[in-house]
Chains A and B, each alone.
Chain A
Amino acid sequence: MKIQVLGSGCPTCKKLFELTQQAVNELEIKTEVEYITDIQKIVEMGVMSSPVLAIDGKPIISGSLPDIAKIKEAIKQNIK
């Protein structure tokens, strides 16, 4: 599974990236969290708000900074 955080480089985006890394560590999932600041990639996903948390190329959370519990839940729900 592939976890990505996409953002335009704003503070909120960075925070989401850090939280997601923490969530992945705490869930003990063996995967790297990728941080993408290429706006083109965000738009290509069909999303118009940033930051975006995407799992396997699908946007799961966008446009807001959720707390870590929500991130964990989102990751758990989308684990295959």
Chain B
Amino acid sequence: MDIFYPFQFIANWIIFSVFNIERTSHLGTSLNFFVYDSLKILFLLLVINYFMAIIRYYLPVEKLRDFLASRKWYGLDYFLASVFGTITPFCSCSSIPLFIGFLEAGIPLGVTLSFLITSPLVNQVAVVLFAGLFGWKITILYVISAMLLGVFGGFILGKMKLEKHVADYVWNIKSQKIENKNVREPFKKLIKKFWLEGFDLTKKITPYVLIGIAVGALIHGFVPAGFFEEYITAENLFAVPIATIVAVPMYANAVGVIPIMQSLVEKGIPLGTALAFMMAVVGLSLPEALILKRVMKMKLLIYFFGVTTINIIIIGYLFNIIL
């Protein structure tokens, strides 16, 4: 039995029994889908945000940076930076201090960019949405490809020796070492703290998640099956690059995009094409470019966007071929 069956049961009961909406109607399908997905995803979010609060407490990004800067890694650092990118929360407000902080600690530019590429693509919320809507297999594939994107993107950019295209002032910043505030808190207090933190985060993102699921539910209920197949097929070789390039300037949070994407895939858009679109929306955007412009000279910015875009297109093709 599906472990999410109780949620389906509740959704069926509310929509079909309490509100007495016709089971086969567009409205019924949409509402049922909305209630079921919302319940399931909010539950998963609550659980994972709790665990992430624990991880974040023991592994703040400053610690990860020090770990990366602590020794020579001979290439393994690209991989580590990508892994760290997946477990740290990312807000575009932080991308500049992160960028400078990494470089200032002596971490190579390419490795820093690996982190910067992976971080917005994978976070716990995106993973939960993915798992809840697409299942674990595709979730794992997605996480792996986002990490590959970071590793290869960072590696290629690192090999291009672009250090001189980082804004000059960045190299002159010296940060003070903050003394580790090692106030040992009692374990009981910590458990409560983690719970509150996780709950807070869940509460904060709930509206966005619900809006995303609502749009997804509308598509689910009202758009006929196979609607997009006529226009966008895996055989159409231009679909992936076009979807990616259109998406680069746009910005939306992974949280809002994933439910919509799932519905589109269900209605016939090839998964690789949809994924490429999503990665480009979430990972690259005009606002992000404007922010990064403050620490990167034009050439580096163009290479950064260029290499990442090309890699996203490749991943899109790969997904279409494999699945």
Contact = CB atoms under 8 A, between A and B. Distances in A.
Interface of A: 7-8, 10, 12-13, 39-40, 42-51, 58-59, 63
Given A39-B100, A39-B294, A48-B61, A12 B91 contact: yes
Contacts of B159: none
A44 B92 CA distance: 19
A12 B204 CA distance: 12
Interface of B: 61-62, 65, 89, 91-94, 96-98, 100-102, 104, 169, 173-178, 291, 294-295
What does DSSP make chain B's interface, helix, strand, loop or mixed?
helix
Contacts of B295: 39
Contact of B175 (A10, A13, A44, A63): A44
Contacts, number: 69
Contact of A49 (B97, B102, B176, B294): B97
Contact of B93 (A12, A40, A45): A12
Contacts of B177: 46
A10 B92 contact: yes
Given A46-B176, A50-B91, A63-B89, 19 more contacts: A8-B96, A8-B291, A10-B91, A12-B93, A39-B294, A40-B169, A44-B173, A45-B175, A46-B62, A47-B97, A47-B178, A48-B94, A48-B97, A48-B102, A49-B91, A49-B94, A50-B94, A50-B96, A63-B91
A49 B61 contact: yes
A59 to B, nearest CB: 7
What does DSSP make chain A's interface, helix, strand, loop or mixed?
loop
A62 B102 CA distance: 17
Contacts of A44: 173-176
B62 A10 contact: no
Most A CB atoms within 10 A — which of B61, B93, B104?
Answer: B93
B91 A43 contact: no
B94 A63 contact: yes
Contacts of A51: 93
B91 A46 contact: no
